[in-house]
C-alpha cells in the first residue's frame, strides 16, 4: 500500500488534497550525492548495479521531497539490448560507433529477451520498490521509438538529427521496419518494468519536436500509440514529446493517462488542446530554477494557479539542469506542496 | 528598376504571377564555390571584404536561381561592433571569450557609429546591388536582440542558453539595459543597410523558441516591435522567430510585412494564427532536402498547395544544411517556379 499515491490518483482524474510534484531528471547531476557516485562508477555501472540505481533513484525522494521516484536508467539501454554498442562520453553525450545506415544493418539487431538483457533494470525496480517501502509511487520509462531511431541512425546527439531524418525520407521501409522492432522491444521492456513494480510508465520522445506534424504522426505517434495501447490495461501511462506542440490533441487521443508539456505552452493553451479528460504534467522552464528563490516561488505559484489544480502534476518542462542549486529544486517542490489554490 | 520584384510584391500583399522562392543560408556551405572561398579566407574576411561578400551573396542567384539575394554576413557582427570579441571556430560555432555577466560588464560595450564599425556591410550591400544589376531584390538582416543577448551572455552556442536565461531572471534590469542597447544599435544598423540598398530586412530570432510565451513577449518581442516600428516607413520587414509558434499572432500584430515560419506549423495553422493580412515565408523542413528529388518535388508541391499561392514566399523553415546536394536545392527552387496552383 502506498502512503502517498497523489500521482496515481491525479493520473486517474481523481480529486486530490494537493498537486503532486516531481522533476524530470530529478535523480541526477544537480545532487552532490549523485556526483560522488559519478566519480566512482561509470554511467552503465550506475545503471546496471541495482543497489546503485536504486540508491540514486531514492536520493531526490529523501533530499528534495518529491512525490514520485523515477527509476535511474537511460533510454539508450534499449538499443544496447538490441545489440548496438552505446558509449557515454563525459560532456559529449552518447556515441553509437556503429550506427544503422541501411537495410542490411538491421541484421545486426535483434528483438532481445528483455529478462535476459534488461533484467538489471527490473532488479533495480524491485529493489527500489522494496527500499521505498510505499513512501511514493515508482515511475518506469522508455524512449519513444522515433527518439531511439535518432540515436541509432545518427550515432550521436545532434541539433537537427538530419542524418536520421534523411534515412527515414530516403529509406522509408527500412525506417519503419526499425521503428517497429524498437516498438516491439519497448512494449516487452515496459511490461517487464510493470511486473517489476513500476506504478506508472513515461514515454520520452525527446526529439519529437524536430518533426513536422505529418512526420510526427508517421514516424513517431503511430508507434507511441501502439505502446500506449499495449500497456493501457496494465499501468498508468504518460507521453512526453518535447516540442511537439502541434501533436497535443492527437497525443491526448491515444488513451494515455497523462501528457508532459513544455514551457512553450501556457497551461491554458495546453488544456485547451488536450481537452478535459487527461492529466497534464509540467511545465516550468528548467532554466527558471536558476532564478532567485523568491522569483521561483512567484512563478511556480502563477503556474499552479493557471493549471487550476485539476488533473495537473507539477513538473518541469524538460529535465532539471545540472547547475541548479539543490535549495532551488527544494523551493520548487515546497512551493507546490504549500500552495493554496485561489 | 528590378527585373524580378516578386518578393517585394508578395510582401506588399499584391497578387503575383507565381510564388517567389529563396532559402535561408542560401549563400553558404552547400555550394562548392563557397567552400573554395572558405578554404582561402577566414569567416570574418569573407564578411568584411565587400568583393568576397558580394560574390558569395550572388552565387545562389546564379547557380540555384533564387528570386532574392540575402547579403552574406553574420548576426554576430553587431556584438562585435559594440566592442565584443567574436571568434568563429570551425565545427564549433562562435565563441565570445569575454561574455557579459553583470551590470559593470556593460561598460565594455558601446553604441557604435555604424558607418564606422559596420561600413563594410554597407559597402558589400552597395557592391552587391551594383553587381545584381536589378536581377532580384536584396535582403539585409540582423539578429533579434534576444538572440544576440544569448551569445553575448552565454559566450558560445548552447542547446538551452541557460546562463543567458539565468542572467535575465536574476538581473532583469541589466538584461533590459543590454537588450535596449542592442535594439538601438540594430535600428541604426538596419537603417544603414536600407541606405546601402537593402530592399527588405529580416530579423532572425534564432533562439526565440527557447522562451515561454511570457518571456518571449518580455525579452524578445517587445524589442523586435521597436525595430519593426523604426523601419516600417523605410523598408519591408520580415520577422523569423524559430520555434516561437505561440507568438505568431503577436508577431503579425507588430506591423511587419512578413513572418518566417518553421515546419512545425502546417500552412493552414500558420495562416489561421497570423491572419490574412501578412505574408508567410517558409516552411519546408531543411532536412527534407536530403530526400530523393521526386520526394522533394512531391512535398514542395503539397506545401505550395497548402499555402494556396497567396501572400506566400517559398522558403525553408530554417537554414539550408551544409550536406544538401546542389541539385536538390535546385529541385526545391524549380518546383516552386514551375508550380501551377490547383
Contacts of A213 in chain B (CB under 8 A): 264-266
d(CA B139, CA B193): 9
| Chain B touched by A293 (CB under 8 Å) | no
Indicate the SS3 state at residue A284.
strand
Render pLDDT for A256-286 as a digit per residue (tens, 0 to 9): 999 999 999 999 999 999 999 999 999 999 9
Angle between helices B172-195 and B114-132 (to 10 degrees): 40
Cβ-nearest to B264 among A161, A245, A290: A245
pLDDT of residue B90: 82
Please name the member of A160, A166, A209 whose beta carbon is closest to the beta carbon of B264. A209
Burial class (CB in 10 A: 0-12, 13-18, 19+), B326: middle
Does residue A41 carry a pLDDT above 80?
yes
* Contact between chains at B321 and A162 (C-beta distance less than 8 A): yes
Strand partners, B258: B238, B279
Query: Rounded mean pLDDT of B113-123?
Result: 98
| Interchain contact, B165 vs A290, CB within 8 Å | yes
- φ, ψ of residue A215 to 5 degrees: the values are -70, -35
Q: Do A246 and B263 touch (CB under 8 A)?
A: no
Q: How confident is the model at residue B342 (pLDDT cuts 50, 70, 90)?
A: confident
What residues are paired with B142 via a beta bridge?
Answer: B203
* DSSP structure string for A27-86: SSTTSHHHHHHHHHS-HHHHHHSHHHHHHHHHHHHHHT--S-EE----TTHHHHHTT---
- With beta carbons under 8 A apart, name residues in chain B contacting A243: 243, 264
Whose CA is closest to B143, among B195, B84, B187, B91?
B187
The b/e string for A189-198 (b: 16+ C-beta within 10 A; e otherwise) is: bbbbbbebbb
Are the beta carbons of B221 and B189 closer than 8 angstroms?
A: no
For residue A175, give how far its alpha carbon lies from the nearest alpha carbon of chain B (Å).
Answer: 13
Count other C-beta atoms under 10 Å from residue A337's C-beta.
16
Q: What average pLDDT does the structure give for chain B?
A: 97
Is A160's CB within 8 Å of B290's CB? no
Residue B22 C-alpha, separation from nearest chain A C-alpha, in angstroms: 20
Answer whether B267 touches A (CB < 8 Å). Answer: no
The CB-side HSE value for A335 (13 A sphere, CA atoms) comes to: 23
Q: Are residues A286 and B162, on separate chains, in Cβ contact within 8 Å?
A: yes
CA-based nearest distance A166→chain B, Å: 5
State yes or no: ipTM above 0.90.
yes
- Looking at residue B211, what is its pLDDT? 98
pLDDT, mean of residues A206-231? 98
Taking an 8 Å cut-off on Cβ atoms, the answer to whether A290 and B159 are in contact is no
Interface of A with B in 203-222 (CB under 8 A): 209, 211-213, 215
Taking an 8 Å cut-off on Cβ atoms, the answer to whether A213 and B266 are in contact is yes
Span A68-91, pLDDT tens digits: 999 999 999 999 999 999 999 888
Helices and strands: H and E segment counts in chain B: 15, 9
To the nearest whole number, what is the mean pLDDT of chain A? 97
Cβ contacts of residue A283 below 8 Å, gap of 6+? Answer: A260, A261, A262, A263, A265, A267, A270, A303, A315, A316, A317
**Nearest CA-CA distance, residue B288 and chain A, Å:** 7
A272 close contact with B: CB closer than 8 A: no
User: Distance, in angstroms, between A243 CA and closest chain B CA?
Assistant: 9
Binary contact (B213, A264; C-beta < 8 A): yes
Is there a contact between A285 and B159 if contact means CB atoms under 8 Å apart? no
B168: nearest Cα among B216, B224, B229 = B216
- Inspect the interface and report whether the beta carbons of A170 and B264 lie closer than 8 Å: no
Each residue of A283-333: pLDDT tens digit?
999 999 999 999 999 999 999 999 999 999 999 999 999 999 999 999 999
Q: How confident is the model at residue A92 (pLDDT cuts 50, 70, 90)?
A: confident
Those of residues 150-169 in A touching chain B at CB distance below 8 A are 159-162, 165-166, 169
Subunit contact B265:A243, Cβ cutoff 8 A: no
pLDDT, position B315: 98
- Alpha helices by DSSP H, listed for chain B, are 6-11, 32-40, 43-48, 50-63, 77-81, 114-132, 145-154, 162-170, 172-195, 213-215, 222-231, 248-252, 267-274, 293-307, 326-338
CB–CB contact B160 A213 (8 Å): no
**Reported confidence tier of residue A137, pLDDT bands at 50, 70, 90:** very high
pLDDT on residue B103: 97
Domain locations in chain A? 6-338
Q: Can you tell me the distance from the alpha carbon of B192 to that of B119, in angstroms, rounded to the nearest whole number?
A: 8
Q: How confident is the model at residue B1 (pLDDT cuts 50, 70, 90)?
A: confident
Q: What is the pLDDT of residue B29?
A: 94
Residue with cell 513494480: A197
Please report residues of B whose CB lies closer than 8 A to that of A245: 245-246, 264
**B162 contact residues in A (CB cutoff 8 A):** 286-287, 290, 321, 323
For B54-98, what is each residue's pLDDT tens digit?
A: 999 999 999 999 999 999 999 999 999 999 999 998 888 999 999
Please say if the pLDDT value at position A342 is more than 80.
no
Q: Which residues contact B153 (CB under 8 A, 6 or more apart)?
A: B99, B100, B101, B163, B164, B167, B178
Q: How confident is the model at residue B152 (pLDDT cuts 50, 70, 90)?
A: very high
The rounded distance, in Å, linking the Cα atoms of A337 and A313 is 11
**Minimal Cβ distance to B287: which of A166, A287, A323:** A166
Percentage of chain A beyond pLDDT 90 is 98
CATH fold label, A6-338 = TIM Barrel (3.20.20)
Is A217 in contact with A250 (CB distance < 8 Å)?
yes
Termini Cα distance of chain B:
32
User: Which one-letter DSSP state was computed for residue A105?
Assistant: G
B319 in contact with A, Cβ within 8 Å: no
- Give the per-residue pLDDT at B255: 97
Rounded to whole angstroms, the Cα distance separating A65 from A342 reads: 24
- Residue B107 cell numbers, joined: 561598460
Q: How far apart are CA B268 and CA B307, in angstroms?
A: 7
Does position A222 have pLDDT exceeding 80, yes or no? yes
Q: How far is A50 from chain B (nearest CA, A)?
A: 32
Nearest chain A residue to B208 by CA distance is A264
Contacts of A225 (CB under 8 A, 6+ apart): A254
Please report the pLDDT score of residue A90 as a whole number: 82
The reply to whether residue B162 touches residue A290, judged by beta carbons under 8 angstroms, is yes
The Cα–Cα gap between B16 and B238 comes to: 18
In total, the C-beta contacts within 8 angstroms joining chain A to chain B are 91
ω into B336 cis (within 30 of 0)? no
**Euclidean distance between CA atoms A227 and A208, whole angstroms:** 16
Work out the minimum CA distance from B189 to partner chain A, whole angstroms.
Answer: 30
pLDDT at B91: 80
What would the pLDDT profile of A146-181 be if each residue is shown by its tens digit? 999 999 999 999 999 999 999 999 999 999 999 999
CA A17/CA A21 separation, integer angstroms: 13
Ramachandran angles phi, psi of B283, nearest 5°: -135, 45
With CA atoms as reference, report the closest residue to A111 among A28, A196, A180, A190: A180
Cell 479528460 appears where?
Answer: A277
Specify whether the CB–CB gap between B286 and A160 falls below 8 A. Answer: yes
List of chain A residues whose C-beta atoms are within 8 Å of the C-beta of residue B170: 290-292, 295
**Model confidence over B209-261: pLDDT tens digits?**
999 999 999 999 999 999 999 999 999 999 999 999 999 999 999 999 999 99
- Residue A200: helix, strand or coil by DSSP? strand
SS3 content of chain B, % helix, strand, coil (to 5): 50, 10, 35
pTM score, whole prediction: 0.97
B169 contacts in A (CB within 8 Å)? 287-288, 290-292, 295
Interatomic CA distance for residues A238 and A14, integer angstroms:
16
Please, which residues bridge with residue A142 across strands? A203
Q: Are the beta carbons of A287 and B263 separated by less than 8 Å?
A: no
CA distance A336 to chain B (A): 20
Amino acid at each position: 500500500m502506498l502512503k502517498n499515491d497523489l500521482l496515481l490518483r491525479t493520473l486517474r482524474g481523481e480529486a486530490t488534497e494537493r498537486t503532486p510534484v516531481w522533476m524530470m531528471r530529478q535523480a541526477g547531476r544537480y545532487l552532490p550525492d549523485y556526483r560522488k557516485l559519478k566519480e566512482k562508477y561509470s554511467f552503465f555501472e550506475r545503471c546496471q548495479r541495482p543497489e546503485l540505481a536504486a540508491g540514486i533513484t531514492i536520493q531526490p525522494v529523501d533530499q528534495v521531497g518529491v512525490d514520485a521516484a523515477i527509476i535511474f536508467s537511460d533510454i539508450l539501454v534499449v538499443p544496447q539490448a538490441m545489440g548496438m554498442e552505446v558509449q557515454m562520453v563525459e560532456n559529449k553525450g552518447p556515441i553509437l560507433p556503429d550506427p544503422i545506415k541501411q537495410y542490411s544493418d538491421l541484421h545486426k539487431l535483434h528483438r532481445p529477451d528483455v529478462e535476459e538483457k534488461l533484467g538489471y533494470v527490473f532488479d533495480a525496480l524491485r529493489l527500489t520498490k522494496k527500499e521505498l517501502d510505499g513512501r511514493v509511487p515508482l515511475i518506469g520509462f522508455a524512449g519513444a521509438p522515433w527518439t531511439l531511431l535518432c540515436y541509432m541512425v545518427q550515432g550521436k546527439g545532434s541539433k537537427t538529427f538530419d542524418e536520421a531524418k534523411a534515412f527515414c525520407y530516403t529509406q522509408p521501409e527500412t525506417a519503419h521496419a526499425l521503428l517497429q522492432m524498437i516498438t516491439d522491444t519497448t512494449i516487452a521492456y515496459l511490461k517487464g518494468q510493470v511486473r517489476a513494480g513500476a506504478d506508472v510508465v513515461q514515454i520520452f520522445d525527446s526529439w519529437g519536436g524536430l518533426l513536422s506534424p505529418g512526420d510526427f504522426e508517421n514516424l513517431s505517434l503511430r508507434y507511441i500509440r501502439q505502446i500506449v495501447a499495449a500497456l493501457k490495461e496494465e499501468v498508468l501511462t504518460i507521453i512526453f514529446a518535447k516540442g511537439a506542440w502541434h501533436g497535443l490533441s492527437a497525443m491526448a487521443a491515444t488513451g494515455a493517462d497523462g501528457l508532459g508539456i513544455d514551457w512553450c505552452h501556457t497551461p491554458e493553451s495546453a488544456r485547451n488542446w488536450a481537452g478535459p479528460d487527461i492529466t497534464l504534467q509540467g511545465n516550468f522552464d528548467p532554466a527558471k530554477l536558476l532564478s532567485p528563490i523568491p522569483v521561483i516561488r512567484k512563478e511556480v505559484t502563477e503556474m499552479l494557479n493557471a493549471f487550476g489544480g485539476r488533473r495537473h502534476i507539477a513538473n518541469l518542462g524538460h529535465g532539471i539542469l545540472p547547475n541548479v542549486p539543490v535549495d532551488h529544486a527544494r523551493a520548487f517542490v515546497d512551493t507546490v506542496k504549500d500552495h493554496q489554490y485561489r
